Amino acid sequence: MNHLIISCIGPDKTGLVDTLSKIVRENHGNWQVSSLHHLSGFFAGVIEVAVEQQYSEALTLALKAIPGLSCQIELAEPNIPTVESNLVLDITANDRAGIIQELSSVIHHNGGNLLKLVSAQDNAPHTGQAIFKAKVKIALAEHDIDPLISALEDTADDLMVDISR
């Protein structure tokens, strides 16, 4: 079984996900995991599809032939590393340029592997000030959790970290 990682981007239009899912089904693929977004008028998505080796090339060609959509497709070897702990953090701070770099650097330098990051910009309810919000999933050793949380909280006075597992 092949696992294809498909990254697509193009102008958003009605029915695009339906088109993608039909092509996957018609080419004997099994849609595994995805993250699909509408960003400033564009569709951007990442999809993992499991497909028997004999259907991989036809699926790849069909995806790349979708008009107006640019798809990059990579063959992946599923590898699920053993992890002592998965940590989910909700992070809120005043929005500023470079905040993702600051957070990712702190996570990296404290032994964490950033598995998922979903971020958004919002406005504070009373002031209207731009607020950064993120949900991150991190794989790390159990003994690295407390130092990581402390390091994240030390990045800025306005940064709040809520922890769940």
Share of the chain above pLDDT 70, in %: 95
Model-level pTM?
0.78
Share of the chain above pLDDT 90, in %: 78
| Residue 151 parent element (H or E) | helix 145-153
In this structure, CATH architecture of domain 85-164: 2-Layer Sandwich (3.30)
**Confidence band (pLDDT; 50, 70, 90) for 136?**
very high
**Confidence band (pLDDT; 50, 70, 90) for 130?**
very high
Task: Tell me the C-alpha distance between 38 and 6, whole Å.
Answer: 16
- Segments of 12-129 assigned E as strands: 29-39, 42-51, 70-76, 85-94, 113-123
Domain ranges of the chain: 2-76, 85-164
Summarize pLDDT for 43-54 with one digit per residue, the tens.
999 999 999 999
**Confidence band (pLDDT; 50, 70, 90) for 84?**
low
In this chain, the answer to whether the domains covering 2-76 and 85-164 adopt an identical fold is: yes
At residue 28, the 3 state secondary structure works out as coil
Examine the pLDDT at 83 and tell me if it is beyond 90. Answer: no
Contact 160, 154 (CB under 8 A): no
Task: Tell me the C-alpha distance between 51 and 31, whole Å.
Answer: 9
CATH class assigned to 2-76: alpha beta
For 109, other C-beta atoms within 10 Å of its C-beta total: 10
